[in-house]
Chains A and B, each alone.
Chain A
């Protein structure tokens, strides 16, 4: 549900111009500044969504610092580091693709977007293997193996799967958004004069990146 809504959000912003055409025969209204403002407000709500989880993380970290310490050692720092590098690189290619389009290099822009999608896919594949390994070790919510452990460790894994899972969902939504942008660049509705949808998708993608920047140390690095 949330993916649809978020897709709609940016689509709305871009189709606003067309909508004005339909409903208001004379009145053509295009306001890129407003679109961007709407997007920033939306990103604020995303931050607060994760903010609730960060508060919970903090509260439980204080309550169960020892158990969190033990549980965190099970996570694979190597995979986490690799994924951090992947996401940072994908953010770079996203930013570069916008500059490329602004300079009129349409093909370069599309290629850069494809590499962003590819890196995002790579991230998800890593995540898949990481989660699978945990499942294989019986480390998932409700498993008999986990229930034998200390309460703090149960909570740690509860937080881990919830937060990385929600983040993963955002990665998927971001990928879908970028695919829409690629399609629209090809069809010409996003071009060097009119790229607010692309910029907003880029902002969304940087947010996904930014949240990971916080998740990574909280789960993988703090022992």
Chain B
């Protein structure tokens, strides 16, 4: 193993003294690792807030009629839950936290191409988050339009829609700047010898994601600006009373927001492609197929947006075309899943916590993906459109997909980021809680949706009571699991044993530097000769 740091000279990025001191040494740091860590903290805080709101929603659904809140509060809570979870947790999620931390290290660079721009992105993220949350407390009341801001209601309601929209605009800016930073970094800062097809697959995923961020986000930016202008000046563009067309809003909104789900899931798939070779000690099966499938998901993902609008009013031809493209996206996703499973075949599987999260991901994401086909199909979509079925599908792919991999990445790279180790047994315990709670909660929602329970309703018919009750219990089990997980990590951070440089036997570049890495990452920029998982093929590591 390459001991790159002289023990006497070694100063980790956590202890590094720059020109700022105290908290400013973090808040003004342009070091990609510190920025990544700050993002991670922000994301965990916002996730906890969003999860609390989600638990409140489920508590309300324990009984029909009023349980703990009135209908207007319910509207506000599900809106805020959506906005926080989407714009503040899963969109920045893996790319901003783990991407920032590991992208430069994994390509053998000392930082991203534009470190100061990176810091600006982080600040915009924080400002956007604060604005979004402050809309709760300001006059006009918390917004009640749902996270998708559909007009004309978003124009008519008196709640703080403009402020929340402005927050989303700023968050979009943050996302764009991160995206262009990553694209440039991947093009310009790869270590000597690291061609595109020698990059780790996580980098391929981040690269594809960064392109979506750059290309899709401006469209929602202008849409948001138009809704704000509509509310301020009545320009008429989305207002049917003045001749505008609300359906055009939906088109522009989903032109971004559908590719955005690939912003959310692609980086997670990249993490999976890292964790599986490490814990099976095998070279990834079909490296190029996985790399290309990231790009093709990013590309095809642009042409499917109107599958969110099958019931909004469109020509049959348009609907059929969008349905067809939606099915096409399933192909590269399927390629990935088969390649992952094929990698495990005959591998020497070491079922550590990160691997177990990945295994859980494959199960949950497959359920989410296959129910996605039900929704992509025109005839069946008409039946389940706007029901709990959609909510369950979405949570299976986004929560069961992205957030589970966020947890996996947290457990995989935790020793590298902090140089400490958590308790594996407790982590597995938390994982079991989460898995049981998750399926209890969301699988019942598939059934509820199929039976006709509409989403976003504050009340329900008596026949739905049993399943609603079971689903809510599942939510509480899951929250318990999450709390165990977080406390275990915090305990590991404060009191855990020191972690080795390479606890899992990983072979990508981040495992060749000390844990935690130095401020410069590498004393000497490595020269790359082989693909990232080549070493497993040679059988050099058992």
Chain A residues within CB distance 8 Å of chain B: 1-2, 5, 8-9, 11-13, 15-16, 19-20, 22-24, 26-27, 29, 31, 33-35, 37-38, 41-42, 44-46, 48-53, 55-56, 59-60, 63-64, 141-142, 147, 150-152, 154-155, 157-159, 161-162, 166
A52 contacts B117, CB within 8 Å? no
Check: B114 CB closer than 8 A to any chain A CB: yes
Chain B residues within CB distance 8 Å of chain A: 18-19, 29-31, 110-111, 113-117, 120, 124, 169-170, 173, 176-177, 179-181, 183-184, 187-189, 214-215, 217-219, 221-223, 225-226, 229, 233-237, 242-245, 248, 252, 255, 519-520
B248 contacts A41, CB within 8 Å? no
Minimum distance in angstroms from A40 CB to a CB of chain B: 9
Minimum distance in angstroms from B172 CB to a CB of chain A: 10
Given the interface pairs A5-B177, A31-B188, A159-B237, the reply to whether A55 lies near B252 with Cβ below 8 Å is: yes
Given the interface pairs A41-B184, A64-B243, the reply to whether A19 lies near B116 with Cβ below 8 Å is: yes
B-chain residues with CB within 8 Å of residue A147 when the two chains form the complex = 242
Cβ contact of B229, chosen from A152, A155, A157, A162, cutoff 8 A: A162
B184 contacts A158, CB within 8 Å? no
Minimum distance in angstroms from A169 CB to a CB of chain B: 10
B-chain residues with CB within 8 Å of residue A26 when the two chains form the complex = 520
Minimum distance in angstroms from A4 CB to a CB of chain B: 9
A5 contacts B124, CB within 8 Å? yes
B187 contacts A2, CB within 8 Å? no
Cβ contact of A1, chosen from B170, B229, B243, cutoff 8 A: B170
A-chain residues with CB within 8 Å of residue B110 when the two chains form the complex = 24, 27, 29
B219 contacts A52, CB within 8 Å? yes
Minimum distance in angstroms from A153 CB to a CB of chain B: 9
B-chain residues with CB within 8 Å of residue A49 when the two chains form the complex = 218-219, 221-222
Q: List the count of A-B residue pairs having beta carbons below 8 Å apart.
A: 149
Given the interface pairs A5-B124, A27-B110, A49-B222, the reply to whether A59 lies near B245 with Cβ below 8 Å is: yes
A46 contacts B245, CB within 8 Å? no
B120 contacts A5, CB within 8 Å? yes
B248 contacts A59, CB within 8 Å? yes
Given the interface pairs A55-B252, A142-B233, A158-B237, the reply to whether A50 lies near B222 with Cβ below 8 Å is: yes
Given the interface pairs A48-B218, A162-B229, the reply to whether A38 lies near B115 with Cβ below 8 Å is: no
A5 contacts B181, CB within 8 Å? no
B-chain residues with CB within 8 Å of residue A45 when the two chains form the complex = 176, 180, 214-215, 217-218
Cβ contact of A154, chosen from B187, B221, B236, cutoff 8 A: B236
Q: With CB as the reference atom, state the residue of chain B lying closest to A13.
A: B114
A38 contacts B242, CB within 8 Å? no
A8 contacts B120, CB within 8 Å? yes
A19 contacts B180, CB within 8 Å? no
B235 contacts A162, CB within 8 Å? yes
A155 contacts B180, CB within 8 Å? no
Q: With CB as the reference atom, state the residue of chain B lying closest to A16.
A: B114
A23 contacts B222, CB within 8 Å? no
- Return the 4 tightest CB-CB contacts between A and B, nearest first: A151-B243, A158-B235, A52-B222, A48-B218
A-B pairs with beta carbons under 8 Å apart, 10 shown: A8-B116, A8-B117, A11-B116, A20-B111, A34-B187, A45-B217, A48-B219, A52-B222, A150-B243, A155-B243
A12 contacts B117, CB within 8 Å? yes
